[in-house]
Chains A and B, each alone.
Chain A
Amino acid sequence: MTIPASWFLILAALLFGIGAFGVLTRRSALIMFMCIELMLNAVNLTFVTFARTMSDIGGQTSVFFIMVVAAAEVTVGLGIVVAVFRRRASTSVDELSELQG
């Protein structure tokens, strides 16, 4: 028995939605950051599912590019979070309020 492709797509859409919801509602920079990673992985699942249904290798190679980009984002993002944390000892974005107007 095979699971229909649409299930994977719906799962990916749900994961993406959870990620987007998390970015918009959570207040910790680290959690927001994890939510962005979740969104990227939902995209990977979508790409693989479509590649599988169309038996086209293009979608699978796209996944590698996205994984590399996600890894690069992690290094830069954590560096920035650490730089902010050193100054304030908190990663809550509510306390980042110097720039307003």
Chain B
Amino acid sequence: MNTLTIPSIHYLTILPVLIFFGSSLLLLIASAMWRRSVPMGFSTSLTVLTSAAVMVVTYFQWRGLDKSGASTTVAHAVVLDGFSVVATAAIALSVGLAALVAHDWALRENVRGPEYQILAMASSAGAILMTQANDLIVIFLGLEILSLGLYVLVALDRRKSESAEASLKYFILGGFASAIFIYGAALLYGATGSTNLTTISYFLGSNVLLKPGLLVAGGALLLVGFAFKVAAVPFHMWSPDVYEGAPTPVTGFMASIVKVGAFAALIRVMISGLGTQLGTWRPILWVLIVLTTLVGAALGLPQRNAKRLLAYSSINHAGFILIGVWAGTARGSAALLFYLVTYAPTVVATFAIVTVMGGLGDERHSLESYRGLARRQPWLGASLAVLLLSQLGAPLTAGFYAKYSVLAAAVDSGGSILALIALLSAAIAASFYLRWTVVLYAEPDEELDGSRVIVPRGTAIAIGVGVVLTLLFGVWPGPLVTLAQHATVYFLP
């Protein structure tokens, strides 16, 4: 029998995870020790400062990468490369912005307490761990840390029964997906003798499996687990219900960091681990992408509820991001990273606007309540219009270059038909984004006229940052594109 040796740990690599988790524990202990309840201002500032600290750490990680290149630590289970650093920064930014929105929401709804911030920081530690994981078990741990926090966050609004109902649905299907994922990991372990992605890749590169059944079954189960998490069709059923039932700021938080964490882990598994088997996975991914983009766009059309519409919109986006995985090239990874980094702040800002529009009780989410918003409150209306156009993929917004780069990567790898189908779905999806935008600028109803919604300062900052980033990366994508391409140069192995 082998013996266990304690692996060496490079602390700069896991510092983002440690900071988020430590901060979450600190807040938990503080809330237990505090004589009365922890002031809301304290917990929110702590979260925002923690996110800022993590972004500073990612800067130093990036500097270190320039000097010494990518590295693995904790027995090759955690990796520090450009991809993980950029994805970590995107997660930290989303957490900070979402914390501001949740703060104002909690004050409005009188859901006081530090629970949101504690759970959000713990979840983000899981998401960051997923971006860095180089071992199937570590991905599983990250996935569970991310999900367990989110299940509770979805149920945060105790006075609303929809919130608990959504949470139960999310929990059952999430647990089901996790079990499928880890069974896939177990079969892959049986086929290759390791759960470490680098070792798996090395094994597959130097051996020919006479009976690839275990490997194929394992990989397929992993893919199903991921498809559940990112809400790819046909595993998307939970997503509209959960998006609608969850408190709106939680929906925004969830939509951004789950996508970043899960896709970062997925592409690492598919490229680093099973890269040699790409021919086997491509047809499966192809079907998944076609279904996800088309069904997401088509089912979004009849929606009259802003949150459900955004849920289907995010399903459509998941299909586009999957194209980056399908391409399986460095170009595909760079496109996927660009997509994730621009999509995360956009979606947080969109849900921030939906939060303020929801009004007291978080219930006014029909598209009709947006009628004439841009005439009553030009800045708020214009911001939402920019964010929607970016999700549509209109030129001069970040969404345009994001969509363009994944499609270009697909065409590059011989997927012209796939790119055409995805474009078609984008055209279908455009009709619901445009319809919403037109409603914003339509003549307001008499009775609704003059009813201005209040935009608290924190939420305004979150919306502002989201819109500015969307426009900045849209007009001037060069630096971020270079960064994303640079980030995949380090992509191991």
Question: Which residues of A come within 8 Å of B, CB atoms?
Answer: 9, 16, 19-20, 23, 29, 32-33, 36, 39-40, 42-43, 46-47, 49-50, 54-59, 61-62, 65-66, 69, 72-73, 76-77, 79-81, 83-84, 87-88, 93, 96, 98-101
Given contacts A47-B186, A72-B148, A80-B171, 7 further A-B contacts (CB under 8 A): A43-B182, A56-B2, A58-B189, A69-B178, A79-B152, A93-B168, A101-B303
Q: Which of B155, B175, B189 contacts A47 (CB 8 A)?
A: B189
B179 near A39 with CB under 8 A, answer yes
Give Cα A20–Cα B245 distance, bound, in whole angstroms. 25
Q: Given that A65-B137, A83-B164, A96-B165 are contacting pairs, would A57 and B158 also be in contact in the complex, using a CB cutoff of 8 Å? A: no
Number of residue pairs spanning A and B whose beta carbons lie under 8 angstroms apart: 127
7 A-B residue pairs with Cβ-Cβ distance under 8 Å, sorted by A, are A33-B175, A39-B176, A43-B179, A56-B193, A65-B137, A73-B144, A80-B151
Give Cα A16–Cα B224 distance, bound, in whole angstroms. 15
B164 near A36 with CB under 8 A, answer no
Q: Given that A19-B179, A40-B182, A101-B240 are contacting pairs, would A81 and B2 also be in contact in the complex, using a CB cutoff of 8 Å? A: no
Give Cα A98–Cα B180 distance, bound, in whole angstroms. 28
B151 near A84 with CB under 8 A, answer no
B167 at the interface (CB under 8 A from A): yes
B193 near A69 with CB under 8 A, answer no
B-side contacts of A88, CB under 8 Å: 161
Q: Given that A40-B182, A79-B152 are contacting pairs, would A57 and B187 also be in contact in the complex, using a CB cutoff of 8 Å? A: no
Nearest 8 A-B pairs (CB), nearest first? A39-B179, A99-B241, A46-B186, A50-B190, A36-B175, A96-B165, A83-B164, A69-B144
* Shortest distance from the beta carbon of B185 to any chain A beta carbon, whole Å: 8
A73 near B175 with CB under 8 A, answer yes
Number of interface residues of B (CB under 8 A): 44
B-side contacts of A87, CB under 8 Å: 161, 164
* Shortest distance from the beta carbon of B220 to any chain A beta carbon, whole Å: 14
B183 near A42 with CB under 8 A, answer yes
B166 at the interface (CB under 8 A from A): yes
A-side contacts of B144, CB under 8 Å: 69, 72-73
B9 at the interface (CB under 8 A from A): no
Residue of A nearest to B143 (CB): A69
8 Å CB interface, B139-169 against A? 140-141, 144, 148, 151-152, 155, 158, 161-162, 164-169
A36 near B172 with CB under 8 A, answer yes
* Shortest distance from the beta carbon of B17 to any chain A beta carbon, whole Å: 16
Residue of B nearest to A75 (CB): B148
Residue of B nearest to A73 (CB): B175
* Shortest distance from the beta carbon of A94 to any chain B beta carbon, whole Å: 12
Q: Which of A47, A79, A80 has the most CB of B within 10 A?
A: A80
B-side contacts of A16, CB under 8 Å: 179, 183
B305 at the interface (CB under 8 A from A): yes
A-side contacts of B6, CB under 8 Å: none
B-side contacts of A36, CB under 8 Å: 172, 175-176, 179
* Shortest distance from the beta carbon of B308 to any chain A beta carbon, whole Å: 6
* Shortest distance from the beta carbon of A47 to any chain B beta carbon, whole Å: 5
Give Cα A11–Cα B380 distance, bound, in whole angstroms. 59
A-side contacts of B158, CB under 8 Å: 83
Residue of A nearest to B162 (CB): A98
8 Å CB interface, B370-389 against A? none
Q: Given that A16-B183, A50-B186 are contacting pairs, would A57 and B175 also be in contact in the complex, using a CB cutoff of 8 Å? A: no
B141 near A69 with CB under 8 A, answer yes
A98 near B182 with CB under 8 A, answer no
A-side contacts of B454, CB under 8 Å: none
B4 at the interface (CB under 8 A from A): yes
B-side contacts of A47, CB under 8 Å: 186, 189
Q: Which of A32, A72, A73 has the most CB of B within 10 A?
A: A73
A80 near B167 with CB under 8 A, answer yes
B195 at the interface (CB under 8 A from A): yes
